[in-house]
Amino acid sequence: MADQDPVFNIQRVYLKEASLEQPNSPAILLDQEQPSVEINLGVNAENVAEGIFEITVTATVQTKIQDKTVFLCECKQAGIFEVRNVPDDQMGPIIGIACPQIVYPYLRGNVADLIQRGGFPPVHLAEINFQSMYEQQQAQQGEGGSPIITQ
């Protein structure tokens, strides 16, 4: 029966993509007005092989002064997870809550570091309640939304 024991392993956590753009530099850097900050987060899961999933957490941070972009930072942090012999009713929470919670701290650090290396004060992303986010996605799926896992 050992072959049927549940398996959850972190294979790897890695920075999949990162970019920082300053399209209006250097002129915008001389503006003394306080910029507005917009942050968007997303989670995606892909079944890449039997029992192997890539979970990607994406952050986009954009600061603007009026209608001009000061900087735009986009990062995708990913993890490869082995999940096997887990009941179907537990797969969703593992993929939608547990895995993003493991990946997210790496994303937070990389976003803050990239922005700081660009010459700006670091933007520290807030803690995220992935359970609440997952439950919202489940409610939207019940209304005809798309699932978190892609093939």
Please report the domains of the chain, with CATH numbers, ordered by start residue. 2-143 (3.10.420.10)
On the question of pLDDT at 147 being above 90, the answer is no
Q: What is the pLDDT of residues 57-92, one digit of tens each?
A: 999 999 999 999 999 999 999 999 999 999 989 999
| pLDDT number for residue 79 | 98
> Which run of H or E residues covers position 130?
helix 130-142
| pLDDT number for residue 143 | 65
pLDDT cut 70: percent of the chain above it: 92
pLDDT cut 90: percent of the chain above it: 78
Reduce the DSSP state of residue 67 to 3 states and report it. coil
Planar angle of CA 82, 86, 90, nearest 5 degrees:
105
DSSP string, 11-43: EEEEEEEEEEE-TTTTGGGG--SPPEEEEEEEE
Instruction: For residue 99, name the pLDDT band (cuts at 50, 70, 90).
Output: very high
2/97: higher pLDDT: 97
On the question of pLDDT at 3 being above 80, the answer is no
Contact 61, 110 (CB under 8 A): no
On the question of pLDDT at 38 being above 70, the answer is yes
pTM of the full predicted structure? 0.86
Bridge partners of residue 18, in order along the sequence = 75
Instruction: For residue 146, name the pLDDT band (cuts at 50, 70, 90).
Output: very low
